[in-house]
Structure 1
């Protein structure tokens, strides 16, 4: 009787062990992917989070999206990356605040954890892939959209952030290329500005005072474009203002006919595509080193559709 009990116990242990290894072999244990982004306070990154979470659902991922608060962003993002490293995820997706996080990303590489960059690219040769916008193309399309509202020989103002940052620099250079190709002059460039509506509003007032011949404004973000628009409206002036990103406030002005259009990134697609790419890497597949999430032109004809889509995701 005792031998039979030991035999049953032995067979039970063997069965449990076989079930465990078989479940891993057939993929019942979900891979873990952590997405570390810049914030969760802005519409843009809320949409990116929604796209990543849809990817978790569709691809069977045990995933989470985390981000620092607005205060002490860089310090908190570094802390989050260190904490994530200790958890040994199957893949890391990160929207780096700046290149200062690269030493931490190298630690993931040492553990053979693939690192995919989303939204913001960095010149780090060992990244697995970059998923995001071609910002030169975004600027070029924005310049074309602005030029379509003007005549050759007209002059415009360009408003941008720090040109040492590749996103601002690429967008400005893309815009200047298309404007100059079409014969639109650059009256003034105001660069190094914070991405704040009130600051840009004041700067726009100065631009219009010093350059009364300006016929349009191109800003590298929609938040900046909204500041320029508010300044023009207060002065009773009407001219095209083109921004970039595709936030709801800007799209609403396009739908209302206040502005001719805007050019939009696709943060939802970025989030989804980054999870899809991470899963391919986990499964031993190769992915492109650069995955372009595309640029959309938003005008009166498609503004409401885009607005409804984004509002649904943000509810």
Structure 2
């Protein structure tokens, strides 16, 4: 009798453990909402995924905030994913390949390079609309591009820098990730302005949009080219790196970047970095989700939507800084 009771108890315990194990496997059908809570995927709401090429810089965190606020405001079953850094092209592609198996209704993506096009083409083949934000691609399959005209941003930066210089002066450019459309267009914008103004670009080297790399690259440029009179950096992270190299030599060289992130805004307020061409990553992501919903409702959206830029100087840096801090809850 005792043996029978023991066998029965063991059988019941085994069954309970198996059921618990099966319950644990259901986690693949949940996602994090804008508050970080677990929510069932089959909510009846439109499923919109937002994927960013990186999350290691404040710029991307602003975009994340915009996406998650849109999820909340617009009643979306939202999924947010990102590669660790924007140089991890393969990681981004892997994220997109895994995500397509979850059949989102729409995809909002901040890509890194043209290498993402083949996997994005698979979304198009499944009739999943693809909205590009921040970084445009030469791909006819996109539903729309929402972001900055990066050539214009480069031009605006170049014009501002040229005003601080004289014909015949020499400048240096810190480029981002070579081969990316964002970098190439910004640099081209500056190059065209400098050619028109008769200002020589003595050095143009890549620092991968990275602050630490920018310090080393800028130090090497200043050593080889002691007559540099101005610096353009293709993003604000590199502007901070360039500033460190310039300050170490007790030099006073105008520096202008692109993005409008808080570190640079604080630096501009202190009279260090000269200016930044501010972008609107929060709005890009928010409008990405907003326009994804319009497409899902059968509405027509423009093929390109400009998210606007603004040149930030010491005069308006404080106001812009408060705006950025409020978004980031700083």
Counterpart residue number, 1:222? 236
Show the counterpart of 2:20: none
Which 10-residue stretch deviates more, 92-101 or 130-139?
A: 92-101
Contact 2:176 2:209 in 1 (8 A): yes
Evaluate the alpha carbon distance shift between residue 141 and residue 106 of structure 1 in structure 2; reply closer, same or farther with a 3 A threshold: same
Q: Distance in 2 between matches of 1:42 and 1:72?
A: 12
Aligned length: 287
Q: TM (normalized to structure 2)?
A: 0.81
Separation (CA, whole Å) in 2 of partners of 1:210 and 1:116:
43
Q: 1:296 to 1:44 in 2, by over 3 A?
A: same
Q: Which runs of 4+ in 1 moved over 6 A?
A: none
Distance change (3 Å), C-alpha of 1:78 and 1:158: closer
What is the TM-score when the length of structure 1 is the normalising length? Answer: 0.85
Change (3 A) 1:287 1:259: same
Contact map agreement 2:173 2:232 (CA 8 A) in 1 = yes
Q: Rate the CA distance shift 1:88–1:309 in 2: closer, same or farther, 3 A.
A: same
Q: Does 1:172 align with 2:190?
A: no
Is 1:84 matched with 2:99?
A: yes
1:175 to partner: Cα distance: 0.6
Question: 1: CA distance between counterparts of 2:231 and 2:93?
Answer: 37
2: distance between equivalents of 1:144 and 1:86?
Answer: 47
* Structure 1 unaligned blocks of 5 or more: 1-27
1:300 aligns with 2:314: yes
CA shift, 1:88, in A, is 1.7
Structure 2: any 5+ residue segments left out of the alignment?
1-42
**The 10-residue stretch of structure 1 (118-127 or 204-213) with the greater mean CA deviation from structure 2:** 204-213
Aligned pair 1:193/2:199, yes or no? no
Q: Quick one: structure 1 residues 292 and 235, their matched pair in 2 at CA, closer, same or farther if it must change by over 3 Å?
A: same
RMSD over aligned Cα atoms: 2.0
* Aligned 8 A contact 1:163 1:191 in 2: no
1:116 is aligned to 131
Alignment partner for residue 206 of structure 1, among 208, 215, 220?
A: 220
Q: Summarize the alignment of residues 1-315 of structure 1 with structure 2, pairs less than 5 Å apart.
A: 29-70=44-85, 73-186=88-201, 188-315=202-329
Cα distance, 1:226 vs structure 2: 1.5
Following the alignment from structure 2 to structure 1, what is the Cα–Cα distance between the partners of residues 249 and 64? 38
Query: Matched residue of 2:167: which SS?
Result: coil
Return the alpha-carbon distance in structure 1 between the equivalents of residues 64 and 82 of structure 2: 10
Secondary structure (helix, strand or coil) at the match of 1:218 reads strand
Q: How far did residue 284 of structure 1 move?
A: 0.6
Q: 8 Å contact 2:203–2:221 — kept in the other structure?
A: no
Cα deviation for residue 130 of structure 1 reads: 1.1
CA contact (8 A) 2:178 2:208 kept: no
Contact 1:162 1:191 in 2 (8 A): no
1:227-267 Cα shifts (integer Å, max 9, x gaps): 22111111111110111111211111101112321112210
Distance 1:159 1:40, change over 3 A: closer
Kept in 1, the 8 Å contact 2:239–2:273? The answer is no
* Partner SS state of residue 286, structure 1: coil
Query: Partners in 1 of 2:157 and 2:69 — Cα distance?
Result: 29
Question: Which segment drifts farther, 115-124 or 70-79?
Answer: 70-79
Alignment partners' CA distance in 2, 1:136 and 1:213? 27
195-204 or 104-113: bigger deviation: 195-204
